[in-house]
Structure 1
Amino acid sequence: MSKVDPLIARHIPADADFPSEGYRVANWIENFCYLTGSFAGQRFKLLDWQRELLVDAYRLEQDAFGAWKRKHRMAVVCIARKNGKSTIAAAIMLYHLIADRADAQRQIIAAANDRNQARMVFDAAKQMVNASPKLSAVCEVQRDIIRYKDSTYRVVSADAGRQQGLNPSAVSLDEYAFSKNADLFDALTLGSAARNQPMTWVVSTAGPDPDGPFAALCETGERVNSGELVDPTLFYRSWGPRLGDTVDHLDPEVWKACNPSFEILNEEDFRAASQRSTEASFRIYRLSQFVRGASTWLPHGLWDSLAREDTLKPGEAVVCGFDGSWKGDSTALVACRIEDLRVFVIGHWEAPADDVHWRVPMADVRAALNEALTTYRVMNLVADPYRWEETLDNLEAEGFPIESFPTNSLKRMIPATQSVYDACRDGRLSHDGNPALARHIGNAVLREDKNGARVTKEYAASRRKIDLAIAMILAVHGAVMWREDNGAFTDAPILATWEEDGQVFAYGGSAEFFDDL
């Protein structure tokens, strides 16, 4: 029986359960690597879970010829953010660049879905080299490459096109949960087939797509760990809840169980994040739990708890939100009273479920817009202009305050969605209990990706309408912005009042509206 490589064997404790190169990897990291970020300049002292991870992932077994080799060729780690995954990945890749004895001429790759994400691990490695007198003495550090003798460590990304011709001996693939396809993963893993003992580390937080390539890889890992599948080359470790598991995301014990570095993290930061973030975001990023993109936008029962009996009176200052359509959908007009952020539905036109030929009564909608603008003190009408450009242009030409807000703009909808969510969670928002609005909010689902969170239909062709929810977001976000821009709420001047059919109307919009009267 052949012996384990003496340089590896001397690091393996006598009482070890199995031989592992991980002991050597761990000792090398602690002897040569320095931390980055808040702990920059300090020696890398592995946490217990990090050392255990390395020992398990680099387990050694004898092949058919009696040679000791790595059992696993791929390590998949699903772990929440803030646990130092980029730092440990960078240190592991430096080990493979400098101290890996499985290859003489090594090619190390830091990869991710986009170049900025890929550079996070690579830049951490550069900082470690520069901080270490021993590593900086033997490595040449350039912008996109680290060289050690005839070996290289460089960065690649999926958005740079198909990565062909790669022959990596070790790879770190970061945040794979946000990849839409497996093209880069396939190029990296298939390209290493000619290597002696290649090692691929896929380290990612769970994501919003439980049907994506990383989720499928994690599912395979779960099946391997349970014994359902046999794949000795795959190592899988996760601390987060499994898909479908029910855990209380507000329970500190859950935070601790899902974050192996919790002992050095700030519990108050978790508590604050659990309050200011959406539930889906918190579960994904802080618990590393896969959450379906069709997860409910608001926590169960929250919207109902904000209902108040009230009516909107003529002359009250509001911001209106408008989301229009022209056929087969619905059109919505919602007002948010600026004084107390109370929401009222003032117009709604929705296609009957059994009428495929239904069209929005555009004349009725225009009349309702004019009535709202002249009945209430509309400080702003925030509207999606799609298919309603001419109507909105005419209203603006008449002197009414109109703000174009394309709801397909992620840069605008993501912060607006968060702003309204915060107002709901804080109890600053209330509403008139309109059942159609409640239904549309119940239909709205949260879509999470690398850009952020916003509400949408559960799928594009869904007949479950959400237009009132969108109009409500435009109105509330507009009212919040108006209050921030104008300081504490003060009554704006009423420019005109009149009486029709015994009812008093007031207008507080733009003075230009009255120039020709």
Structure 2
Amino acid sequence: MPYAPDGRWTAPEFSLGYQVIDWIEAYLVHGPGDVQGQPIVMDREYSRFIVDAYEVDRRGRRRVTRAFLSRPKGRAKSELAGMLVCAEALGPVRSDGLDANGQPVGRPVTYPFIRCLATEESQAGNTYDNVHFMLSEGPVYDAYPGLDVNLAKVNIPGGGEIVPSTASSASKDGGKESFGVFDETHLYVSPELHSMHKTVSRNLLKRKIAEPWALETSTMYAPGEGSIAEQMHGDFMKVLEGLLEHPGLLFDHREAPQVSIKNKAELKKALRYVYGPAAEWMDLDRMVIELQTMQEHEARRYFLNQPTATADQAVDKDAWDAIEVENDIKPGDQIAIGFDGSLRYDATSIVGIRLSDGLIFPIRIWENPHTSEDWEVDVLEVDAAMAKAFAEYRVEWVYADPAYWQDIVGRWAVEHGDKTVFEFWTHRDTPMANAVERFRTGIQTRQIFHVGDKTLTRHVMNARTREVRAGAVLRKESKKSKNHIDACMAAVLAVEARADAIADGRLRKKRYRAMSY
């Protein structure tokens, strides 16, 4: 249920969010900052998020188990998280039946245990700082006698608590959270923070009646750092691709359109868009000036909320998007194939490319879901997929990386001819650098195209380059990264196979009419 920032938003049929908003506005004040102590009036954009986050089904059960809120720096994400912590502690956040109109009626959580996660060992965290102020000031303090608010934790009248936690403390505590807040998850890159995230996420599974859930807030991540924010974005993309079931995920991301940082008028317009209602109280003119002095990837990531690639990204996203065309691949088309495989840890990919026009399409991609250490690709399934490709298309040339697959690649050569199936060792720098150069040049000059497959696109966007004497070769952003690039590697081999097939005179121009674009 992603958020549509252009206004195409459909309210859930049932939601406690409206009551939560009313409670926040009635009992809380703004946290530390320019407007601290002033009454809260929830803006439209964050109101929509709260309504989505508190959607319930016809029985009154929560539908969202994990919400991810992505906004630019300065958009008061931590303050919003603090408001929701206070509401989860005291407000009408769980269903207590239906009213006369068939709408849910809210009630407080019985014994709420809420954890605010901080990234620094020496700090309570931005979310808890807001909670501490909000529960110490304003109407809530008088309305809920018995609140015990201090820097270490908040004791809730009737039982329950709000605690700030760091990586070390959370990992040692077998808590039973009813709500957890992970603030600024683009910073969750260390093993300790990953462990904290995993521990608290497990704890949220312990209390069925309390309907626990988690809120993650972040600005956009730096691709390749392996942050929790990057993992969450990757999971969401897999949900869209149908590769992962996560019905309880709410992914609410607002990103500025692509503009030139040097064009001040365009930049200001983009800032106004990405900050939404907050643009009215942001100093956009100053931001435009300051962003001119920053490194571009920092400006885009923190203030335009764009997941900005590092300089070593193999393929520019805009260039890749520009060569997407309709998929009109047909049985009998002349094609070349690239194959890159892994037995256990990574992915295995068979990618085709039509000889006549360079249209790239995935034949089959298998990915390790990283849910079990025992997973391995079904070798017989891969073999059958290659056989089916030969039966369905006129396969003229195959380049296959034989690492881990040497026996099978050898058998393919026997079955389909050693003038059709060739080994291509991707660890050899010079031929690989030449193939990568052909692939990237084909994208930039629009000599090759692709059908817009989301999994293939994700692999291409995950790919990084490493400079060697012969040029640039492909690599993952880190050796232990779970972001697959194997389909990109197979696409590179397919493009190289096509070029060699054409050079060998195998293109039947009279039988196959090239597409026009």
TM-score normalised per structure 2: 0.50
* 1:57 Cα deviation from its structure 2 partner: 1.4
- Asked if 1:26 corresponds to 2:21, the answer is yes
Q: 2:150 aligns with which of 142, 151, 156?
A: 142
Tell me the amino acid that sits aligned with residue 83 of structure 1: R
Cα 1:161–1:20, aligned 2, differ >3 Å: closer, same or farther?
Answer: closer
Per the alignment, do residues 202 and 282 of structure 1 end up closer, same or farther by CA in structure 2, a change over 3 Å counting?
Answer: same
Instruction: Please point out which of 264, 272, 285 is paired with 2:289.
Output: 272
The letter of the residue matching 1:254 is A
Instruction: Look up the SS of the partner of 1:183 in the other structure.
Output: helix
Per-residue deviation, 1:278? 1.3
Offset at residue 293 of structure 1 (A): 3.9
Paired AA for residue 256 in structure 1? R
2:206 maps to a residue whose letter is A
Which of 247, 254, 260 lines up with 1:239 in the alignment?
Answer: 254
Q: Does 1:119 align with 2:125?
A: yes
Matches within 5 A, 1:438-517: none
Residue 257, structure 1, aligned to residue 288, structure 2: no
C-alpha offsets along residues 336-385 of structure 1, whole Å, 9 cap, x if unaligned? xxxxxxxxxxxxxxxxxxxxxxxxxxxxxxxxxxxxxxxxxxxxxxxxxx
Unaligned ranges ≥5, structure 2: 1-9, 94-106, 314-463, 472-517
Q: Find the counterpart in structure 1 of residue 54 from structure 2.
A: 58
2:42 to 37, 41, 46: 46
Secondary structure of 2:125's match? helix
Deviation at 1:178, TM superposition (A): 1.3
Change (3 A) 1:33 1:23: same
The alignment status of 1:199 with 2:190, answered yes or no, reads: no
Cα distance per residue 1:458-482 (max 9 Å; x no partner): 99997799xxxxxxxxxxxxxxxxx
Residue 17 (structure 1) shift = 4.8
The DSSP-based 3-state class of the residue aligned with 1:61 is coil
- With over 3 angstroms needed to count, the CA separation of the structure-2 counterparts of 1:59 and 1:461, relative to structure 1, is same
2:60 aligned residue: 68
In 2, distance between residues paired with 1:173 and 1:221?
A: 17
CA offsets 1:115-151 (integer angstroms, 9 cap, x no match):
4565211011111111114335441111110111211
Paired with 1:464 and 1:277, the residues of 2 have a C-alpha distance of 33
Deviates more, 1:221-230 or 1:40-49: 221-230
Which of 159, 167, 177 is residue 168 of structure 1 equivalent to? 177
Q: 2:84 aligns with which of 73, 77, 92?
A: 92
Cα 1:278–1:152 change in 2 (3 A) is same
Give 1:33-432 correspondences, 5 Å limit.
Answer: 33-36=28-31, 37-62=33-58, 67-99=59-91, 100=93, 101=107, 103-115=109-121, 118-135=124-141, 137-149=145-157, 150-158=159-167, 160=169, 162-180=171-189, 181=191, 182-195=194-207, 196=209, 197-210=211-224, 211-224=226-239, 229-240=244-255, 246-249=258-261, 250=263, 251-260=267-276, 261-294=278-311
Moved runs in structure 1, 4+ residues, more than 6 A?
458-465
Q: 1:192 to 1:40 in 2, by over 3 A?
A: same
Letter in 1 for 2:15: S
Secondary structure of the corresponding residue to residue 235 of structure 1: strand
CA 1:224 to 1:130, structure 2 compared with 1: closer, same or farther past 3 Å? same
TM-aligned CA distance change 1:220 to 1:146, over 3 Å: same
Following superposition, the deviation at residue 103 of structure 1 comes to: 3.2
Instruction: Give yes or no for contact 1:110–1:154 (8 Å, CA) kept in 2.
Output: yes
CA radius of gyration, larger in: 1
Deviation, structure 1 residue 51: 0.4
Could you tell me how far apart the structure 2 residues matched to 1:121 and 1:68 are? 28
Measure, in 1, the Cα distance between the counterparts of 2:156 and 2:269. Answer: 44
* 8 Å CA contact retained: 1:280, 1:295: no
Does the 8 A contact of 2:272 with 2:284 survive in 1?
A: no
Alpha carbons 1:78, 1:205 under 8 Å: kept: yes
C-alpha distance in 2 between matches for 1:222 and 1:460: 26
> In 2 relative to 1, CA 96–227 (structure 1 residues): closer, same or farther, beyond 3 Å?
same
Question: How far does the alpha carbon of each residue in 1:190-245 deviate from its partner, in whole angstroms, 9 at most, with x for none?
Answer: 1111222102000011122344331120232244357664421111100025xxx8
2-structure distance, mates of 1:30, 1:171? 22
What SS does the corresponding residue of 1:60 show, helix, strand or coil? Answer: coil
Code of the residue aligned with 1:266 in structure 2: it is D
1:291 aligned partner, one-letter code:
T
Is the 1:117–1:174 Cα contact (8 Å) retained in structure 2?
no
Mapped partners of 1:84, 1:22: distance in 2? 19
**Quick check: 102-111 or 18-27, which moved more?**
102-111
CA contact (8 A) 1:118 1:174 kept: no
Mean Cα deviation higher: 135-144 or 123-132: 135-144
Task: After TM superposition, give the deviation of residue 294 of structure 1 in Å.
Answer: 3.7
Equivalent pair of 1:20/1:56 in contact (CA under 8 Å): yes
Q: Please tell me the residue identity of whatever aligns with 1:200.
A: A
Q: Residue 463 and residue 178 in structure 1: after superposition, are their counterparts in 2 closer, same or farther (change >3 A)?
A: farther
Give the number of aligned pairs: 283
* Residues 68/117 of structure 1: CA separation in 2 closer, same or farther (3 Å cut): same
* Cα distance in 1, alignment partners of residues 259 and 39 from structure 2: 36
- Residue type matched to 1:135 in 2? Y
**Following the alignment from structure 2 to structure 1, what is the Cα–Cα distance between the partners of residues 468 and 135?**
53
- For the 8 Å contact 2:148–2:155, the answer to whether it is kept is yes
Q: Match of 1:190, as an amino acid?
A: R
Shift in alpha-carbon separation, 1:114–1:459, aligned structure 2, 3 A: farther
Are the counterparts in 1 of residues 28 and 139 from structure 2 also a CA contact under 8 Å? no
Q: TM-score, normalization: structure 1?
A: 0.50
Quick one: distance in 2 between partners of 1:55 and 1:161?
29
Q: Distance in 2 between matches of 1:236 and 1:68?
A: 21
Give 1:214's aligned amino acid.
Answer: A
Q: Is the 8 A contact 1:78 1:218 kept in 2?
A: no
Using the TM superposition, give the Cα deviation of residue 163 of structure 1 relative to its aligned residue in structure 2, in angstroms. Answer: 4.0
Give the Cα–Cα distance (whole angstroms) in 1 for the partners of residues 306 and 117 of structure 2. 23
Distance in 2 between the 1:256 and 1:295 partners?
30
Matched residue, 1:6: none
Q: CA deviation at 1:246?
A: 4.4
Distance 1:118-1:79 versus aligned 2 partners, 3 A rule: farther
Q: Deviations over 1:436-465 (max 9, x none)?
A: xxxxxxxxxxxxxxxxxxxxxx99997799
RMSD between superposed Cα atoms in Å: 2.8
> 2:183–2:218: 8 Å Cα contact kept in structure 1?
yes
Distance across 2 between alignment mates of 1:263 and 1:227? 39
